């Protein structure tokens, strides 16, 4: 995120001697993006963050496409019956070279630490609550939260109530939309949210122990390491790189006299995709406005829509936790009767997350197993 934060103890200058009360040096770690050319943070440890006792086995994994006919899809993700911790309960449903989309149902705490080495992560909290514990500090997780975790951050999740999550792993950094930022990186006055809405980690007391197990997610699988020291031995940090949380309920929707296009609902961006959210909002106020969205063809992007809560005005038959997938090249829009039913409606009561990708998505066999095979025929006027 493009704004400065400071937590705990740090020296007056970077890269100088920084000692504890006994005269021992703290260990400085620089975590940076794009080599040394983009945002970074300096993190100060009690112990060397490089001390690995054992390199464990790598558990190889691959994403296999199960694409069939080119058609619209409706996935009932709650039929997956997922359970486990924040990592082993994940089930991948879609992917391309820019993004991996998965569903998870977190029912137990992690007894290890985790770091994604090749992807940034956005965890959308559909239901449940808990805590995201990181080497930068702790963040509460509540329904509606987007938890943004840059690659390289070490973390684990403690569960309070079973947490239902949509997982978005991106090949590049997840940022606020560029058009909502000024040249200094500050969110502009007309942006639908501001830095006041963003929650940052609270540094917790250092943990000076070890050894601990850290699992690192790579493109080819998960590599385990035994660290000599706990990576949460941080006494302070400062910089622009850190995990953060934004809640969907703090998004202030942009409305208009006639129906507004999906970009007004954008909340995040990453290379190759955008993330939008649909929230309760007043409908259009032109006397002849049609609140229901017009039929449209995504000729340059695939569309994923994840249904969170409320009444989805343009469609019937979708459940909370469902995903609709509208691939590029096929028109989609309201079902028959939904346009007429929307006339004179005053406001929307819906909560949903949308991901548009600019490369075609591949479906996995897990997605195929929960697919409503008749969905692509659901625009027939009976």
Ranges of each domain in the chain: 5-64+80-246, 248-377
Statement: residue 60 has pLDDT above 90: yes
State the CB neighbour count (10 A cutoff) for residue 372: 17
Instruction: Write the DSSP assignment of 342-367 as a string of letters.
Output: HTT--EEEEEEEEEEESSPPEEPHHH
* Residue (of 327, 320, 382) closest to 351 by Cα position: 320
pLDDT tens profile 116-143: 999 999 999 999 999 999 999 999 999 9
pLDDT tens profile 265-274: 999 999 999 9
Statement: residue 53 has pLDDT above 80: yes
**Homologous superfamily of 5-64+80-246:** Jelly Rolls (2.60.120.10)
Looking at domain 248-377, its CATH architecture is Sandwich (2.60)
Residue 1: pLDDT band by 50, 70, 90 thresholds? low
Residue 382's pLDDT is what? 57
Residue 110: pLDDT band by 50, 70, 90 thresholds? very high
pLDDT tens profile 338-360: 898 889 889 989 999 999 999 99
pTM, entire model: 0.96
Residue 52: pLDDT band by 50, 70, 90 thresholds? very high
Alpha helices in 283-364 (DSSP H): 338-342
Statement: residue 40 has pLDDT above 60: yes
d(CA 111, CA 229): 15
pLDDT tens profile 162-179: 999 999 999 999 999 999
User: Is 248-377 in the same CATH topology as 5-64+80-246?
Assistant: yes
Can you tell me the mean pLDDT for 188-212? 96
Residue 151 contacts residue 116 (beta carbons within 8 Å): yes
* Residue (of 76, 104, 124, 73) closest to 318 by Cα position: 76
Q: What is the CA radius of gyration of the chain?
A: 22
């Amino acid at each position: 995120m493009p704004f400065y934060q400071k937590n705990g103890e740090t020296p007056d200058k970077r890269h100088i001697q920084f000692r504890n009360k006994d005269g021992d040096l703290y260990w400085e770690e620089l975590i940076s993006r794009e080599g040394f050319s983009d945002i970074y943070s300096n993190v100060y440890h009690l112990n060397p963050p490089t001390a690995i006792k054992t390199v464990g086995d790598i558990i190889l994994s691959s994403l296999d496409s199960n694409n069939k006919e080119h058609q619209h899809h409706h996935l009932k993700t709650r039929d997956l019956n997922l359970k486990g911790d924040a990592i082993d309960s994940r089930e991948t449903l879609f992917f391309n070279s820019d993004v991996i989309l998965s569903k998870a149902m977190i029912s137990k705490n992690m007894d290890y630490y985790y770091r994604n080495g090749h992807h940034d992560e956005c965890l959308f909290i559909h239901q449940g609550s808990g805590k995201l514990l990181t080497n930068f500090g702790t963040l509460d997780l509540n329904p509606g939260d987007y938890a943004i975790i840059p690659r390289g951050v070490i973390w684990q999740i403690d569960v309070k109530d079973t947490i239902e999550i949509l997982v978005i792993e991106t090949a590049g950094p997840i940022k606020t939309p560029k058009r909502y930022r000024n040249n200094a990186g500050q969110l502009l006055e007309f942006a639908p949210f501001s830095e006041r809405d963003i929650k940052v980690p609270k540094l917790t007391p250092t943990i000076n122990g070890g050894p601990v197990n850290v699992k690192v997610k790579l493109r080819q699988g998960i590599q385990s390491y035994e660290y000599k020291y706990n990576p949460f031995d941080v006494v302070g940090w400062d910089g622009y790189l850190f995990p953060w949380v934004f809640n969907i309920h703090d998004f202030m929707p942009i409305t208009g006299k006639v129906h507004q296009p999906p970009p007004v609902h954008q909340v995040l961006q990453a290379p190759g995709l955008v993330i939008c959210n649909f929230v309760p909002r007043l409908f259009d106020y032109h006397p002849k406005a049609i609140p229901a969205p017009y039929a449209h063809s995504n000729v340059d992007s695939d569309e994923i829509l994840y249904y969170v809560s409320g009444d989805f005005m343009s469609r019937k038959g979708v459940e909370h936790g469902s995903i609709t997938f509208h691939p590029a090249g096929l028109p989609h829009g309201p079902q028959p009767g939904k346009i007429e039913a929307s006339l004179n409606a005053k406001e929307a009561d819906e909560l949903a997350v949308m991901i548009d990708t600019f490369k075609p998505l591949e479906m996995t066999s897990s997605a195929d197993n929960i697919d409503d095979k008749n969905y692509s025929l659901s625009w027939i006027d009976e």
